[in-house]
Amino acid sequence: MTGYGTASFDSGSTKYTVEIKSLNSKFLELSLRLPKSFTEKEFQVRNECNKQIERGKVNLSFNVEKANTTSNAAGIDKELLKHYYEQLKAVSADLNEPSNNLLQLALSLPEVVKYDEETVSEEEWKTAERTFHQALAAFQQFRVDEGNVLEQDVKMRIGIILKNLELVELEEPKRVPIIRERLDQFLSEAVGREAIDQNRFEQELIYFIDKLDITEEKIRLKAHCDYFVETLKSADANGKKLGFISQEIGREINTLGSKANDANMQKLVVGMKEELEKIKEQLLNVL
């Protein structure tokens, strides 16, 4: 959801510049900085951002630079200023007070300094709006380019998880002889080999190994990874959906780890978890 876009247009008399920046956020947090003359257009700008940006902590700024800086300068009502000044001068004389700052005081009185109401014509707004859309297009292209990079990265990491799953399947058959030998040795040391009921031992061994069976977890993990890659191909904004799928992938990986009962399989599971954490970090930047 990070992004950056900027555009500017110089008409000769006025230069319009629009800059859009965004960081990650679960929702759209939009902060606008518009010239006073564009205040009435704020709702329109917000609506357009809501439609196109969807999520992210977004800062959008409009900047308008006039070539003639005096066009928006404040005016002074000379007659009113003189009137205030004469009154203040008379009061100062009556009270026998110094009259050093009378002009400054008069300038601060109501209606002496007047500001023209800042408005924007429809033609000026069309120029500014066009610049805004250019900046928005650049912003969206930035996101698309970054999204393509992220897509390749998470695909690669899903591929690593699936490769580790294949290696887990190769290690899985090696567990049974090791488990059988370990339990047999433990019972021999505990009660003596002569006291072991081999039939009962085989039954318990089958029960124990069945509890460690990971067939279901392997199937689910493969299905979740395939669904993740399939969802990546969608043109819709699926960041939250990918987040949910990654949670399901994590559950299956954790179950694999708890049932592994084998050092080599545990190493492979740890590698899966590491790649999944990197995927989750990247998904924070996906719409």
Going by pLDDT thresholds of 50, 70 and 90, the confidence category of residue 136 is: very high
Are the beta carbons of 208 and 175 closer than 8 angstroms?
A: no
Are the beta carbons of 85 and 47 closer than 8 angstroms?
A: no
Contacts of 88 by beta carbon, 8 Å cutoff, 6+ apart? 99, 102, 105, 106
For residue 184, pLDDT over 80 is answered with no
Going by pLDDT thresholds of 50, 70 and 90, the confidence category of residue 162 is: very high
Q: How many CB atoms lie within 10 A of CB 1?
A: 22
pLDDT, average across residues 72-87 = 74
Q: How many CB atoms lie within 10 A of CB 2?
A: 14
Q: Model-level pTM greater than 0.75?
A: no
Length of the chain (residues): 287
CA distance 231 to 225: 10
List Cα–Cα distances, 92 to 9, 14, 38, 104, in angstroms: 54, 47, 45, 14
CA distance 238 to 234: 8
Residue 187 confidence (pLDDT)? 63
Angular region, 201: left φ>0, alpha ψ -120 to 50, beta rest: alpha
Integer-rounded Cα Rg, in Å, for the chain is 36
AA letter at 4: Y
Across 115-188, the runs of DSSP E, i.e. the strands, are none
List Cα–Cα distances, 77 to 53, 74, 115, 188, 191, in angstroms: 47, 10, 11, 109, 110
Map residue 285 onto helix, strand or coil: coil
Domain range summary for the chain, segments of one domain joined by +: 3-70+122-139, 75-114, 142-283
Domain 3-70+122-139 coded CATH 3.30.230: yes
Across 51-147, the runs of DSSP E, i.e. the strands, are 56-66, 75-76, 113-114
* Portion of the chain with pLDDT greater than 90, in percent: 28
Q: Which two tokens stand for residue 42?
A: 């704020």
Are the beta carbons of 85 and 102 closer than 8 angstroms?
A: yes
Residue 7 confidence (pLDDT)? 93
Contacts of 201 by beta carbon, 8 Å cutoff, 6+ apart? 183, 184, 187
Q: Which of 69, 83, 58 is nearest to 14 (CA)?
A: 69
Residue 80 confidence (pLDDT)? 79
